[in-house]
Amino acid sequence: MKNSRRDFLRNLAASGVLVPLAAQNLQAYPITTDRKLRVVLCGLGSYATNQLAPGLSQSKNCELVGIVTGSPEKAAKWKEKYNLADKNIYNYQNFDTIANNPDIDVVYVVLPNSMHAEYVMRTAKAGKHVITEKPMSMDAKQAREMIAYCKSKNVKLGVGYRLHYEPFTNEVMRLAKDKDFGKPKFIETKFAWRNRDLNAWRMNNKWSGGGALMDVGIYCINASRYATGEEPISVTAQAIKTEPEVYRDIEETILWQLKFPSGAIASGMSSYTTNAHELSIHYEKGSLSMSPAYDYGPLKGTTSKGPMDFPIVHHQAYQMDGFAVAILNNKPVLTPGEEGLKDMIIIDAIKKAAITGKEVKIVMN
C-alpha cells in the first residue's frame, strides 16, 4: 500500500533526516553536532517534569545536566533518573554559584509567573543564557527590564513558545506570509481549561499576575499575531465573573477584540470555567480551522483545501533543538524576549480595556 505523506514524513523524522523539520525558520543555521546544549531546569513542577524533561531526553542537540529545586527529595529522584552530577544540583539559596560552573550553558526557568523575572536576571548575572516560560513576566514593564538586563550581561533570552517550533503552527505562519487564501480577515481564538484549584499559585494574582488570560489566553494572542503576521493597533475587552468566591483576585473569563493595521480583526476568549482549544482563520478566499490548536498534541486542523497533514512532533523536543541550534551557533533565538514582550504589551492593553470599557491603543515599542 502506498504510504501517505504523513507516514513518509514520520519515517523520515524517525530516521533523524528531518530534524528539525518543523523549525523552518531555523534552516539557515546548520545543526551543531560536535556538542550538545547543556540545560538546567529551574523549578521541577508539572511542566518541567511531564513535558520539558522528556522533551530534553528526545532532543538531538540538548542534554539535561542539572536542576534547581527547593526539595531534597526531588533532587535525589532527578539525580538518579537523569544521572545528574552533584555539582549541577542547586537550590534557590545557592543558585547564584552557578556562575562558577563551566559545564552549564543555559537555565530554563519553569517557576510560577511572578518568579520568572528574578530567576531570569539571576541567571543572566551568572553569565548563562536563559529561557523562561510564558508569560515571560507580570507585565510589559518587567519584560522590558528583563530584556535590557540580559542584553547588558551579553546572554541570550528566549521564551518557551513551543508552538513556533512545530509544523502545524509553522503552516499557519506560512499562510500569513504566502497568502494562499489571500489576506486573513477574521480570526477567532479560544483557549480555556477548567481550573478550580483554589490553593494553586495560578489562582493568586500575586503569583500569576492574572487568571486564564496570562495562563492560556496568551496562546490566543500569540496565534492572532502569527496568523496575521502583523502587530495589533488597538483592543476592546470584557471580563466576566460569575463565581467570585472561586476566582477571587484573578479574571475568570475574558473576551477581547484586536484590530490589525490591514483591517484584520481577531476575537479572543480565555477562561478557567470550561475547555476550549480553537483557532479559526477566515481569509479573503478560504479558511483554516484547528482544534486542538495549542495543546501538546496531536494538533488537528483543516483548511479549505482539506485536512492539514503534517508530522506530529514532540513540541518540547523540537523547541529545545531550536534553542540549541541558535545558542550553539551564536545566532538569534527564534522566540526571544522581544516576542514575549509583544504579548505582554497586548495583555496589559486587554486588562486596561476590560477595566475601562474603552478601546485601548496598542503601541509596540
Q: Is residue 45 involved in binding ligand NAD (CB under 6 A)?
A: yes
Nearest Cα neighbor of 141 from 117, 157, 111, 124 is: 117
Q: Using CB under 6 A, which residues numbered 292 to 331 contact ligand NAD?
A: none
| C-alpha dihedral, 99 to 102 to 108 to 114, nearest 10° | 0
254 DSSP β-pair partners: 239, 270
Q: Is residue 362 involved in binding ligand NAD (CB under 6 A)?
A: no
Q: Using CB under 6 A, which residues numbered 75 to 94 contact ligand NAD?
A: none
Minimum CB distance to ligand NAD smaller for 29 or for 294: 294
Instruction: Please confirm, yes or no, whether 134 is among the known catalytic residues.
Output: yes
Minimum CB distance to ligand NAD smaller for 45 or for 286: 45
Q: How far is the CB of 255 from ligand NAD (least distance, A)?
A: 21
Q: How far is the CB of 133 from ligand NAD (least distance, A)?
A: 4
3-state secondary structure of 279: strand
Catalytic choice (29, 90, 108, 134): 134
- For 157, the enclosing helix (H) or strand (E) is strand 157-159
- 210, 254 contact by CB (below 8 A): no
Q: Single out the residue of 37, 44, 150, 317 in contact with ligand NAD (rule: CB under 6 A).
A: 44
**Contact region with ligand NAD (CB under 6 A), list: 26-34, 41-49, 186-194, 261-269:** 41-49
Start-end of H helices in 129-202 = 140-152, 167-178
Instruction: Please confirm, yes or no, whether 219 is among the known catalytic residues.
Output: yes
Q: What's the grid cell of residue 83?
A: 544521572
The CA-CA-CA angle for residues 62, 335, 275, to 5°, reads 95
**Stretch 186-215: interaction string toward ligand NAD, x if CB under 6 A:** ---------------x-------------x
299-322: b or e for each residue (b if 16 or more CB lie within 10 Å)? bbbebeeeebebbbbbbbbbbbbb
Q: How far is the CB of 143 from ligand NAD (least distance, A)?
A: 13
Catalytic choice (29, 108, 161, 219): 219
Number of residues that bind ligand NAD (CB under 6 A): 17
**Contact region with ligand NAD (CB under 6 A), list: 104-112, 183-191, 332-340, 342-350:** 104-112
Burial class from Cβ neighbours inside 10 Å (0-12, 13-18, 19+) for residue 323 reads: buried
- 62, 319 contact by CB (below 8 A): no
Report helix angle 218-228 to 337-356, nearest 10.
110
d(CA 257, CA 265): 7
Q: Is residue 160 involved in binding ligand NAD (CB under 6 A)?
A: yes
d(CA 321, CA 317): 6
Q: Is residue 110 involved in binding ligand NAD (CB under 6 A)?
A: yes
Q: How far is the CB of 67 from ligand NAD (least distance, A)?
A: 10
Q: Is residue 70 involved in binding ligand NAD (CB under 6 A)?
A: yes
Q: How far is the CB of 46 from ligand NAD (least distance, A)?
A: 3
Q: Single out the residue of 162, 164, 190, 225 in contact with ligand NAD (rule: CB under 6 A).
A: 162
Residues forming contacts to ligand NAD in the complex (CB under 6 A) are 43-48, 70, 110-113, 133-134, 160, 162, 201, 215
Which residues does the annotation mark as catalytic? 134, 219
